[in-house]
Amino acid sequence: MSLLPFFQWCYQTPVGETIRDSTWLFPVIEACHLLGLGLTAGAVLMVDLRLLGVGLNKQPVALLSAGAQPWLLGSLTLMFASGFPLFLSEAIKCYYSFPFWVKMTSLFLALVFTFTVRRRVTRTGLATDRPLVGRFTALISLCLWFGVAWGGRWIGFS
């Protein structure tokens, strides 16, 4: 089953056409998307660096994670709200883009990992009781989010 018809339909939506026909709409939406990426990276890095033992060592992991959670959720909302119109404007290009598929796969895996494994590690004290579990969790998280950022950055070059 090919997804090409779906991508073609997305490309032909009025939203996609409006963004493509506008001189300034794509860059403005892209700027919002990048702002969301930066906020997401900040929320993820704060907790993951703490899990690695690199910074904020006096702050309990659970407290730091709880404080970063609203920022993570807000920034992900901003990224989805801006990413969907960007996708609609370039759906055909995305279908044939390897970096797009890397980004989407990494994003799916990063979200699942963040809201299951990483959440459990940060909330239950596993990171304190077993520092290697915390470090391993942080490394996996950082790799997955790096895949999202790498794919997103290289979509423009493909």
pLDDT for res 53 = 87
Structural domain including 34 reads 4-155
**How many structural domains comprise the chain?**
1
The 10 Å Cβ neighbour count of residue 43 is: 22
Minimal CA–CA distance to 122: which of 63, 76, 39? 63
Q: Which two tokens stand for residue 32?
A: 């919002």
- Residue 29 pLDDT level (bands cut at 50, 70, 90): very high
Residue-level pLDDT at 19: 96
pLDDT number for residue 157: 81
What is the value of pTM for the model shown? 0.90
Maximum C-alpha span of the chain: 56
CA distance 112 to 8: 28
Between 130 and 23, residue with greater pLDDT: 23
